[in-house]
Amino acid sequence: MAAEYITDVIPPAELTGYVRDLVDGDLPFAGLFPPRLVDDLEYEITNGDLRNAGEVARYRAWDTPAPIGTRPGIAVIKGEIPPLSWGYRLNEKERAQLARARAAVGAVSPELERVVYRDAERAAHAVQNRITLAHGSILVTGTVVLTELGNVEAGNELVAEFPVPANQLGVTPSGAAWSNTGASVPVTDLIAWEAIYRANNGGQNPQAWGISSEIMGNLVLNAQIKTMAGGTSGVTPGIISPGTVQQVLSAAGVNAPLVVMFDVERPQMDVGTPARVVSNRKVIGVKAGMGETLYGPPPAALDLAGRGELQFATTPGIIAYMVGSIDPVWSKTTAEGLALPVLTDPNGLFVATV
């Protein structure tokens, strides 16, 4: 028998409001990819931040026309926002054990309600975990790869790809890896990388260099940085603090601060054990406004709105609902979203492996 929506245990609107309150702020990279609600199943963005076109206006004589600049080329990036969902099922025996007999007034078993709320919460966090993995993918590669949908081939619909400049992806240090604290030159590297970034971003530096705590551990022992910290005293300290690292880099001409932001761990899709979302050997230049997480109306949300269970205006975002069958008796609590992170300004991303 086909599954039907179950609305008399916990109404979809109530369950949706419950999980939205719980998962609000659950995305560690929300500052880089703030949520934006859209009412469509597709996205269309223009490539590039045109606030700084890299040109200079001219003074002109009175009653003469304004000089005309060269408009940067604009590429339109289009794609679909894919659905994602996770659910937990109660089989016939479990349902019977929880539901018991209803009271004469038709009240639902409190035990069943508690299980449904808990399953909805867990499912909503699972959806957010997948979005966080997508954030990590786009931060490292400039793409979101939907590996769970099958084999990925270049140019097919399973990859959302954004045109990050080639010289801002796959970058490596000019000398030794930063884990080689005696031979690496992170100050030299960061100054060079900021020059590349400015050339691709109208003279703007990244707002931060995202790193892991392991990389910061390398930097407090780095010979180049410690030598600079010693200055004219002739005494090179054996170890310095993260604050001193920041001071040395700033004094040497590195404009963007180092921010430890890549210690985030989430379950892996293939084995479920937690692992770093972003490799601990990445140094990533970022800036505000370079990305968004688009939330459209999930398929079930539109169906539920058509039945009067949700308001159409509230359909974009994560929803939660129950479905079930009576032959045999089972129910499933599902959290569902229509979500995809995008790079609205691909030039804003710079990725190095150190």
User: Same domain for 293 and 330?
Assistant: yes
Among the candidates 243, 260, 277, a domain finishes at 260
The gap from C-alpha 352 to its chain's centroid, in whole angstroms, comes to 18
Q: Tell me whether residue 351 is in a domain.
A: no
Q: Are 287 and 204 in contact (CB under 8 A)?
A: yes
pLDDT in the model for residue 62? 78
User: Same domain for 172 and 42?
Assistant: no
- Count of CB atoms within 10 A of residue 215's CB? 21
pLDDT in the model for residue 91? 77
User: Same domain for 46 and 89?
Assistant: yes
Residues in the chain, total: 354
Token pair for residue 324? 């079930």
Q: Determine which helix (DSSP H) or strand (DSSP E) holds 292, and give its type and residue range.
A: strand 291-296
Q: Tell me whether residue 109 is in a domain.
A: yes
**In this predicted model, what pLDDT tens digit does every residue of 107-164 receive, in sequence order?**
667 788 888 899 999 999 999 999 999 999 999 999 988 877 765 555 555 778 899 9
**In this predicted model, what pLDDT tens digit does every residue of 5-20 receive, in sequence order?**
888 889 999 999 999 9
pLDDT in the model for residue 105? 44
The residue type found at 207 is Q
The gap from C-alpha 196 to its chain's centroid, in whole angstroms, comes to 24
Exposed/middle/buried for residue 20 (C-beta within 10 Å: 0-12, 13-18, 19+): middle
Q: Tell me whether residue 57 is in a domain.
A: no
User: Same domain for 46 and 11?
Assistant: yes
pLDDT in the model for residue 311? 93
Q: Tell me whether residue 55 is in a domain.
A: no
Which segments in the chain show pLDDT lower than 70? 1-2, 44-55, 63, 69-78, 93-108, 150-157, 232-233, 327
The gap from C-alpha 75 to its chain's centroid, in whole angstroms, comes to 23
Query: Can you spell out the DSSP letters for 143-162?
Result: EEE-GGGS---TTSTTEEE-
Interatomic CA distance for residues 116 and 15, integer angstroms: 9
Q: Tell me whether residue 270 is in a domain.
A: no
Q: Tell me whether residue 188 is in a domain.
A: yes
User: Same domain for 13 and 152?
Assistant: yes
User: Same domain for 301 and 152?
Assistant: yes
CATH no. for residue 101?
3.15.30.10
User: Same domain for 158 and 23?
Assistant: yes
Whole-structure pTM value: 0.87
Query: Rounded to the nearest 10 degrees, what angle do helices 242-252 and 223-230 cross at?
Result: 80
Interatomic CA distance for residues 196 and 20, integer angstroms: 41
User: Same domain for 142 and 176?
Assistant: no
User: Same domain for 221 and 146?
Assistant: no
**In this predicted model, what pLDDT tens digit does every residue of 319-347 receive, in sequence order?**
999 988 876 778 889 999 999 999 999 99
Can you give the C-alpha Rg of the chain in angstroms?
26
Tally of domains in the chain: 2
Q: Are 263 and 330 in contact (CB under 8 A)?
A: no
Q: Tell me whether residue 22 is in a domain.
A: yes
Interatomic CA distance for residues 352 and 209, integer angstroms: 10
Q: Are 204 and 52 in contact (CB under 8 A)?
A: yes
Phi first, then psi: what are they for 251, rounded to 5°?
-65, -30
Q: Tell me whether residue 315 is in a domain.
A: yes
User: Same domain for 131 and 173?
Assistant: no
Q: Decide the pairing of beta strands 319-326 and 83-90.
A: unpaired
User: Same domain for 34 and 146?
Assistant: yes
User: Same domain for 91 and 225?
Assistant: no
For residue 185, give the nearest of 196, 194, 175 by alpha carbon: 175
- Tokens 């894919």 — which residue? 82
Among the candidates 239, 260, 281, a domain finishes at 260
- Count of CB atoms within 10 A of residue 349's CB? 26
User: Residue 110's domain spans which residues?
Assistant: 4-50+76-163+289-345
Query: Can you spell out the DSSP letters for 42-62?
Result: EEEEESS-TT--S-------T
Phi first, then psi: what are they for 112, rounded to 5°?
-65, -40
Token pair for residue 351? 């990725």
pLDDT in the model for residue 68? 73
pLDDT in the model for residue 79? 76
